[in-house]
Structure 1
Amino acid sequence: MDNKNGLRAGALVAGTALMMLLMTSPALAVTRDDGDDPGHGLSVIDTLGLYVAAPIALFAVIAGLVMVLDGSTDRAPKTKPAKAKA
Structure 2
Amino acid sequence: MDKKLNKKALRAGVITAGTALTLLISTPAFALAHDDGDDPGSGLNVAQTLGLFVGIPVLLFAIIAGLVIVTDKSRKQQHN
Relative to the length of structure 1, the TM-score reads 0.58
Partner in structure 2 of residue 82 of structure 1: none
Structure 2: 5+ residue stretches without partners: none
Equivalenced residue count is: 76
Higher helix share: 2
Structure 1: 5+ residue stretches without partners: 79-86
- Identity rate, percent: 33
Change (3 A) 1:46 1:5: same
SS of structure 2 residue aligned to 1:34:
coil
Q: Which runs of structure 2 are paired with 1:1-86 in the superposition (5 Å)?
A: 1-2=2-3, 4-62=6-64, 63=66, 67=70, 71-72=74-75, 74=77
Which structure is larger by alpha-carbon Rg, 1 or 2? 1
Tell me the CA shift for residue 57 of structure 1.
2.7
**What is the identity, as a one-letter code, of the residue corresponding to 1:23?**
I
Q: Please, what is the CA RMSD of the aligned residues?
A: 3.4
Change (3 A) 1:33 1:57: same
